[in-house]
Amino acid sequence: MRIYILIILLTFAPGALAQDAPLPRTHPLSENQARLAAEQEQKKALESEIGTIKGSLKEIREKSLKITKQVRQSENVLIALEKQIIRNENEKTDIQQRLTKDKKSLSRLMLALARLERLPPEAVMLKPGAPLETAQSTIVLQSTLPRLYGRADTLKQDLARLGDILTSLEKDKKQARKKTARLKEQQDQLKTLLKKREQLYAKTEKNIVKTKAEIAFISKRASNLKDLVNKLDRYEQGKTQKAAARPVPKNPKNLPKIKNAQMPVSGVIKTRFGQADNIGAQSQGIRIAARRGGIVTAPLAGKVRFAGNFRNYGQIVIIEHEKGYHSLLAGLGRIDTVEGRSISTGEAIGILPASTESDEPEMYYELRYKGKPINPGPFLGTS
């Protein structure tokens, strides 16, 4: 009986007559180590790629800074040329109007002079006909002759000056055309570099989309510029756990020093800090009349905190600087930067509108300390 039970158990036991199961080719621990090694290699490759990208980004930044400087120089030369052309055009118009106005009187005087030359005063009494009329003409011409010579000298000088102006205008316009063509080349080159710069920057920053969405939400909730700057500060403090901001000094002389600030655009200041603006309110910044399509640069080094549309200010850029300062730039036609970017002084951040209702677009620039607008003139050397 025992023998039968043993046979049955041996017959139906799983794998009793089968060969031993094969061992796995690799141990699970070895697979994990291989996977970890592959991930480490991939991480090194990504870090190497990011390092290469950052190197390219640095090179592009240096190139863009160089070209931006050249663009600003070209714009300044063109602004000076355009002003000179306007002055010459105005002077040319004045001379032409003056010549036209004097044309008839000069013609009459010249005709009278010719008559006097044909009939000198000594021959008046010998001329038959109308001696009284001739005598009167002679007396009038004798009193008018000095004025006639004076007008002739003025005419000669005006004609000479008009010739000089026309020559200068032709020269200046030719130079302006060459400078404009060169400026266009520089702007196109810079535009390509800036586009590549932002593409490379996007590869190194994974949180750009998230940051832009958060800042867009903040901007919609902000009621004004001061509120926007304060909300952006609180947003950054929440991310970096900064200490609370110190109070604003009451005396402007006690403000922390900042160096190497520069004008954000090439142009002329139309409204200064504290002056009445175009609606009669006291200006909290400065307004700069500039060329259409002029390049806009960072007035100071810092980090871009906002770049986009904000209420009735249009396209604006807010840059956070060290020591509690912020720059706010409004009136841009195109923005060439993004939130979170660190930028250098003089680095391009956008351009002014290429076409405007007026001849000159205006850039509005505000400098704030701890959220309060202050006069940027002393820092820019324009006050």
**Pairwise CA distance, residues 70 & 83, whole Å:** 20
Decide if pLDDT at 328 tops 90. yes
Question: What is the percent of the chain with per-residue pLDDT over 90, rounded to a whole number?
Answer: 18
Single-letter amino acid code for the residue at 228: L
Could you tell me which of 380, 364, 302, 362 has the C-alpha nearest to residue 328?
364
Span 355-359, mean pLDDT?
64
- Give the pLDDT score at 359: 66
Residue-wise pLDDT tens digits, 111-155: 765 665 565 555 545 555 445 455 555 555 566 666 666 767 777
Strand partners, 315: 309, 332
Mean pLDDT score of the chain = 76
In the prediction, which pLDDT does 277 show? Answer: 79
Mean pLDDT of 76-98: 87
C-alpha to C-alpha distance for 192 and 64, rounded to whole angstroms: 10
Residue 329 has pLDDT above 70, yes or no: yes
For 204-257, how does the pLDDT look when each residue is reduced to its tens digit (9 = 90+)?
Answer: 666 666 777 788 888 888 888 778 888 887 877 766 554 444 555 555 567 888
What does the DSSP 8-state code read for residue 322? G
For the segment 45-55, the average pLDDT, to the nearest whole number, is 63
Token pair listed for 197? 């710069």
Alpha-carbon separation of residue 310 from 89, 228, 338 (angstroms) = 41, 9, 15
Question: How confident is the model at residue 115, as a pLDDT?
Answer: 63
Mean pLDDT of 304-324: 90
pLDDT at 364 over 90: yes
As to burial, measured by CB atoms within 10 angstroms (0-12 exposed, 13-18 middle, 19+ buried), residue 302 is buried
pLDDT for 302: 93
pLDDT at 3 (0 to 100) = 53
pLDDT of residue 17: 45
Statement: residue 32 has pLDDT above 70: no
The lowest-confidence range among 7-21, 49-63, 205-219, 323-337 is 7-21
Q: Is the pLDDT of residue 378 over 80?
A: yes
Q: What is the reported pLDDT for 374?
A: 92
Amino acid at 26: T
Question: Quick one: average pLDDT of 269-279?
Answer: 87
What pLDDT is attached to residue 16?
46
Name the strand (E) or helix (H) holding 367. Answer: strand 362-369
Give residue 244's pLDDT.
47
Average pLDDT over residues 25-38: 59
> According to the model, what pLDDT value does residue 253 have?
62
Q: What is the pLDDT of residue 46?
A: 55
Q: Please name which of 305, 156, 301, 297 lies closest in space to residue 230, comparing C-alpha atoms.
A: 305
- State yes or no: pLDDT of 21 exceeds 60: no
Model pLDDT, residue 281: 82
Ordered structural domains, the chain, with CATH: 54-204 (1.10.287), 208-380 (2.70.70.10)
If DSSP codes are grouped into helix, strand and coil, which group holds residue 314? coil
The string of DSSP letters for 210-248 reads HHHHHHHHHHHH--SHHHHHHHHHHHHHHHHTPPPPPPP
Q: Which amino acid is at 137?
A: S
